[in-house]
Structure 1
Amino acid sequence: MSDLDARLLAAHALGDQSALVPLYLEAADSAEEDQARGFFLTQAYIYALEAGHADAPALRAQLVAAGRESA
């Protein structure tokens, strides 16, 4: 298990949605495949919305630019 996987699992176990946002963004940034990158970016966006995280608009813009969200 990678360090990132362990940190994601720990944040999920704690229910720490604010911590999940940058963790899923890190996973998206390190993903080698577009499908995985899109999945992780979507997860970051979902948790940002749920937590009222300040990065939600920027994450949505990234999803729109990637063709995974409509403008």
Structure 2
Amino acid sequence: MNGLDARMRAAQDAGDGPALIALYHEAALTAASDVARGFYLTHAFVHALEAGDARAVDLRAELHAMGRI
């Protein structure tokens, strides 16, 4: 498990929604493929929506630009 995975698991275990948004977005930025990038962005977007976080707007725009929404 790499450091990002460990931080994601810790944030998930702690129920830290804001951290999960940031971590999934970080994972998207470093993803090896568009499929993986879309997966991570989708998770970041869902967590942002659940939290009512303003980052949802930008995440949606990124997904839209990828043709995912």
Unaligned runs of 5+ in 2: none
Q: Deviations over 1:18-59 (max 9, x none)?
A: 110010000000001110000000000000000111110010
| CA RMSD of superposed structures (Å) | 0.5
Structure 1 counterpart of 2:30, which letter?
S
Residue matched to 1:28: 28
> For residues 36 and 58 of structure 1, what CA distance do their matches in structure 2 show?
18
TM-score (normalised: structure 2): 0.97
1:10 pairs with 2:20 = no
Identity of aligned residues (%): 57
Compute the TM-score of the two structures, normalised by the length of structure 1: 0.94
Secondary structure in 2 matching 1:32: coil
Report matched runs for 1:1-71 at 5 Å.
Answer: 1-69=1-69
